Amino acid sequence: MKKDDNEKKDDLTQEEIQDLLDELKKSSRGNKKLFALAFLLHPKFVYHIILSLSVNLIMAAVVMGFLAFLGYPVIYFDIVAFLVAIILYTLVENFLKIILYRYFLKYFIISFGLLSLILNIIIFWSLEFFLKPNFYFYDFSSLIMFATIFSILRFILANYIKSFFMSTTNIRRIP
């Protein structure tokens, strides 16, 4: 007798199951948006690439101009090679970060962004290798200085962009 009562309590109606599935779908959509905004500049990937390219172009120009103003030019380039380098950098960085965040997220979090900085240095060094006559760093310390300042300023600007999109998508930021 008790066994039948327990089975009746565990049985859910079709309507209750559907309600639970709807709640699960709603909560998983919110988590996807939150996850996307944690690592991307915009929940839609095409917009993320456009924003990322814009941020990279602006930050690279700002860093080069700032260092040249201080009397320490770091990069020799012509304008076409610079644009090609930043476009390639944006595409390669997004591709590699998606793969690395997917499989090595724990290490990115533990390193506090150091792995991201090392990845930036490797990507810029590779770009210098492929675009050598028209785009190159004057020495290795120039590469490290440029990549470090570029990463810090881009991180600051990216957080402002993310906070803007978080406020417009009804996702509350954790204080």
- Can you give the pLDDT of all 175 residues of the chain as single tens digits? 445 544 445 566 777 766 765 665 565 454 555 555 556 666 677 888 898 899 999 999 999 999 999 998 898 889 999 999 999 999 999 898 888 877 887 787 788 878 889 999 999 999 998 988 888 899 999 999 999 999 999 989 888 877 776 666 555 544 4
DSSP 139: S
Tokens of 28: 């998983």
pLDDT at 54: 92
pTM of the model: 0.72
Q: Does residue 22 fall inside a structural domain?
A: no
Q: Does residue 70 fall inside a structural domain?
A: yes
Phi and psi torsions of 68, nearest 5°: -65, -35
**Full domain range(s) for residue 99:** 40-168
CA distance 169 to 175: 17
Contacts of 66 (CB under 8 A, 6+ apart): 149
Place of tokens 């990216």: 158
Q: Does residue 31 fall inside a structural domain?
A: no
CA distance 3 to 6: 5
Q: Does residue 29 fall inside a structural domain?
A: no
Q: Does residue 80 fall inside a structural domain?
A: yes
Name the domain count of the chain.
1
Q: Does residue 26 fall inside a structural domain?
A: no
Helices (H), the chain: 2-10, 14-39, 45-69, 79-110, 114-130, 140-168
CA distance 52 to 54: 5
- Environment class of 58 (CB within 10 Å of its CB; exposed 0-12, middle 13-18, buried 19+): middle
